[in-house]
Amino acid sequence: MNGLKDIIGLSLLFLFFASHSMAMDNIDNQIYASLLKKHVINNRVNYDGFKKNEQLLDEYLAILNRADVKSLSGNKLFAFYINAYNAFTIKLILTKYPGINSIKEIGNFFSNPWSKKFILLQGRTVSLDHIEHDILRPKFKDPRVHFAINCASKSCPPLRNEPYEGKTLENQLDDQARKFINDKKNNFIKEDTLFTSKIFKWFKEDFSNNPLLFIKRHASKELKEKLNSAGNNIKIYYLDYDWSLNR
């Protein structure tokens, strides 16, 4: 009888630690999900709405700060940092909103908004630049990240109206890349010239120094046919970047 009790006790203990481990291995994005669904509509961000719900946003940012990042790996860790970048970008805008029309108005002569250290993560104060250039780009080496992180500007790939999650990340990243590349205001062809986003110029090395190949990989049938028709001598013109708020 005692042996049976021991077995049951050990089983319950195992289930407790297993469930605890699973809980630690996931970030609660429910608050963020509700805010995005409510305030990101048709690729536009309602900063007035976010301002009214800023306390909820702050609660989510606190969850990110307290998260046990060491328990995350792979796509779960990748999704965590994408969500952190985007959520803290919204917070950065709200620190000056409604008194600004562009994220570039934040900062001063000596610093830009991306180098501003205002983000609390795991007890450290870091910047958006730190998340993007010290974590996301070098650690995950996935050019699709440039269509997932959002710079709060009209020429930036749109803010997705749902959090990124480890289990769906591959599909989400592909979807973001496809939508941006096949949006005719971001990529279009005139004669032998492809007009495209400066993202492909700024981060050319992330696209293996061949952004055209990446664009073709994610292009619709119509766009791909036009690119192929233009031949190998196609020219690339990088469009002006609109830094006004994506509202």
pLDDT at 20: 40
- pLDDT confidence of residue 109: 73
Nearest CA to 162 among 53, 58, 82?
Answer: 82
Strand partners, 41: 44
Q: Tell me, what's the pLDDT at 3?
A: 58
Confidence of residue 10 (pLDDT cuts 50, 70, 90): very low
Q: Which stretches of the chain are assigned E, i.e. beta strand?
A: 40-41, 44-45, 119-121, 124-126, 188-190, 193-196, 235-238
* pLDDT class of 108 with cuts at 50, 70, 90: confident
Res 230 pLDDT > 90? no
Confidence of residue 231 (pLDDT cuts 50, 70, 90): confident
Which whole number is the average pLDDT over 174-196? Answer: 96
Domain ranges of the chain: 2-238
Q: Model-level pTM? A: 0.89
| pLDDT for position 16 | 43
Tell me: pLDDT of 99 over 50: yes
**Residue 154 DSSP class:** T
Average pLDDT over residues 133-162: 98
Q: Which of 41-55, 127-141, 149-163, 218-232 has the weakest average pLDDT? A: 218-232
As a whole-number percent, the residues of the chain with pLDDT over 70 amount to 90
Q: Give Cβ neighbours of residue 173 (< 8 Å, ≥ 6 apart).
A: 142, 144, 145, 147, 148
pLDDT at residue 12 tops 70: no
pLDDT at 18: 41
Of the listed ranges 14-23, 154-163, 233-242, the least confidently predicted one is 14-23
- Please report the pLDDT score of residue 1 as a whole number: 57
